[in-house]
Structure 1
Amino acid sequence: MKRFIAAICILALFTISTVSAQHINFSSQSPDLNICGATDTFSVVIQNTSSDTLNNPLVIINFHNGVAYQNSSLSGTGFSEQNVANPDSVVFSGSPILPFATRTFSFLASAHCDAADSSAVMNSIRVLHSQGTDVTLSAPYNILTAALSVQSIVPASFTGPLGSTFSRCITVINGGFGALSTFSVAIERDAASLLYTNFILSANNSALVPTLSGDSIIFNLTTAQIQALGDLDTLFEQNEVLEICYDINVVDCINLSSEVSTWWGCNGDTCERQTTAANVIVPALVPNLVAQQIFIENRCYGGPTPSLIKIVVTNTGTGAARDVLLDIWQGGINGPSSGYYSRLDTTNIQWVDSSGNVQILQPTAV
């Protein structure tokens, strides 16, 4: 009885050892990836270290979160794509690997918004074959992400009267380890209150043409502008700075709030968005209108010469008056009276400004 139990134990140990035996020796190379950057090449070397032929090998690669395989990028003798419908986890099939033979394959992959800024991440590599399963991890690699922020707004705020025009410059910096080939900067403002013009890229003093969308002024920066920045290549890299300058005309005081936003992303997703206030302040300047009436009466009633009414309106306040409404009538201080035998000639009302310019006014109601 004791011998029988011992035999079972020995058999169990032998079975476990056979299943866990490694038939493959792995080596790999992994590049660092920029989130939303270009694809780069991963390579894997598989060596059959056994005296057995490994038939029907399947290579399953599970990528780190946010890293995706690029379809049709597999290269290497004896391997082909079997299932790449899910770019996060792909399956390659291979021809038999002879004893002690070595196979090498490579492929392209890229990092997207879901790939957080992290270091020493790895992909899992699993090979199923006729002799069992071998598993390893790829060589570690880093995922690099950009970090855009508004470094400065000069002047940060403006205080001045209605109608003022001033110049402002905004500076955007990439404080992250990752590089970008494209990103966006937007100014949000009330188009009816603030008029923005003359947009200039300070690095080369070139004009920028934004996209206007509602109250948004959007600059989509590409390699055409990025190559004027920093080290003059086509990537907006760590600690490189973008400066955009423009003019602002304060045309109304109803809504003077303003914001500057930066964002970037890929595949229809926004990876990062930052917003900074950039308000314009107009002091509380209050108009005060004082009206004086001058009546030059023609006592030859019924004659061809009408009496002249002159109303002098003076703004004695500190702010400009807008949307001025004048209500003129015949009668007393309490309102119009229909008991008069005269009338106002509404076809000959003239507005004369302080410079002597004359404008014929049409009443909105009679």
Structure 2
Amino acid sequence: MITEHPADFDQIIRASDPDVILEVLMAELASRCRPANEAASLSVQYRVDFGAFQRDCLLRIKSETVDITMCSIDESSLTVLVSVQELCAGLFAAPERSPSMLGVLAGDASLYEDFHACFPEPRDLTELAMFYGSDKWGMHRYTPHYEFHLGGHRDRAVRLLEIGVGGHRDPYSGGASLRMWEEYFPRGLIYGVDIFDKRPLNRGRVRTFQGHQADHGFLDTLLSETGELDIVIDDGSHINSHVIASFCSIFPHLRDGGLYVVEDVQTSYWPGYGGSSVELNDPSASMGFFKAMVDGLNYEEYIGIDYRPTYTDLKIVNISFYHNLIFVRKGDNREGTFPANRPRIPTVDIPVPQGGNS
């Protein structure tokens, strides 16, 4: 269902089982419903028009819970009449619209406001991190930086991969950040990688894979399933050699304009993780590895050497460093340099003034 082009919905609908489509749409709708603690029970029947036929389902909205029944039931207090195309487009092509405004409402008008209140305005990333329990805010102060770099992607049909799901060996534990990203990117496909099996956390637009972040064979298989990615976040082992191996495997599969993020690079200074607090430019540590790429932003300005640009010289257009956090933006780094006839030395000698009043 995730597409940048609303016209694609007709083709998807024609090629898919209507019951499967309805189940996907209702699960997405339910995931965006956030009833308040004091909310009274509300039953909303969706009658979805597929053209030649209709499908029905019921949303039972209770305090902090939403249940879905995939059948026609006449006990609802509200009914929503909507075409499948409008529902698809409203959820995945125009996520800024409240789901409670999709279609025609029928029933007790006094309940319209209660229904609309179940779909409040989108929360910012810090709010989402606190709500889902992600350590991207609290233990760390990452969410404002993520908001700055990713805010422009929020309404896009992104494919996001996060390395490190959390929860250690418990298959039902972890996934706080995956749920945070699922809500933050309402059109996004969210993938998680962990060395432990986290399949019980799969839901809706969230899917997990089990494997090692430094295993190139596993990553190749993973990327063949996800396709090109828009955002990659390494919150995995934080072992320096693993961080570098993941970047080398995955960065070529990032779309131009995409972002590769590395968290918790304090381990660059910790010998137990393969770092050093003495050799600060060691390229085998994460910080040294990425700092070495900074000059590559300006490789076209090198003079007096026979230099062949690397892949990252050509494809990295920005690197931003924050406390324990790095953002790398991919793009086309071939802007060109000054014409050859422009001198590479100052044309006027401007001496530094000596003395004078202080």
Q: TM-score range by the shorter chain?
A: under 0.3
Structure with greater strand percent: 1
What is the TM-score normalised by the length of structure 2? 0.22
Q: Which has the higher contact order (CA 8 A, sep 6+)?
A: 1
